[in-house]
């Protein structure tokens, strides 16, 4: 599972033992993640098994892109939920694969 956490843009990437201090906002399994890449929703440079971050600016760009996507796609809806939670917090996202 690729887990997503809120993290302020100004915060450094936490050590593994400090991740529990971040707010968990959702996760995406590998199958759904792969489909999101194939659909062009997530750039393929963000590998499932590699931890990555999206700044608050990138989150806003993704949110804007998702506005025009269908609401009947379960993969997109999972990502939309994660992005919406992030927009409300005005932070970025860090993703960690467990």
Domain ranges of the chain: 2-97
Angle separating helix axes 74-89 and 30-38, nearest 10 degrees: 90
**Is pLDDT of 1 > 90?**
yes
Q: What percent of the chain has pLDDT over 90?
A: 85
Q: How confident is the model at residue 70 (pLDDT cuts 50, 70, 90)?
A: confident
The CATH number assigned to the domain with range 2-97 reads 3.40.1760.20
Instruction: Write out the E strands in 13-91.
Output: 24-28, 52-54
pLDDT for residue 63:
95
Angle separating helix axes 74-89 and 56-66, nearest 10 degrees: 140
What are the pLDDT digits (tens) for 32-62? 999 999 999 999 999 999 999 999 999 999 9
Cβ count within 10 A of residue 13: 13
Rounded mean pLDDT, 15-22? 88
Q: How confident is the model at residue 16 (pLDDT cuts 50, 70, 90)?
A: confident
pTM, rounded to two decimals:
0.92
């Amino acid at each position: 599972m690729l887990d997503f956490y809120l993290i302020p843009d100004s915060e450094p990437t936490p050590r593994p033992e400090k991740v529990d201090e971040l707010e968990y906002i959702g996760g995406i399994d590998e199958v759904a993640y792969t489909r999101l890449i194939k659909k062009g929703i997530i750039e393929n440079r963000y590998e499932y098994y590699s931890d990555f971050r999206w700044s608050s600016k990138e989150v806003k760009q993704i949110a804007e892109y998702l506005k025009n996507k269908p609401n009947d796609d379960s993969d997109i809806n999972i990502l939309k939920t994660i992005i919406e939670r992030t927009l409300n917090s005005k932070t970025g996202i860090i993703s960690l694969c467990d």
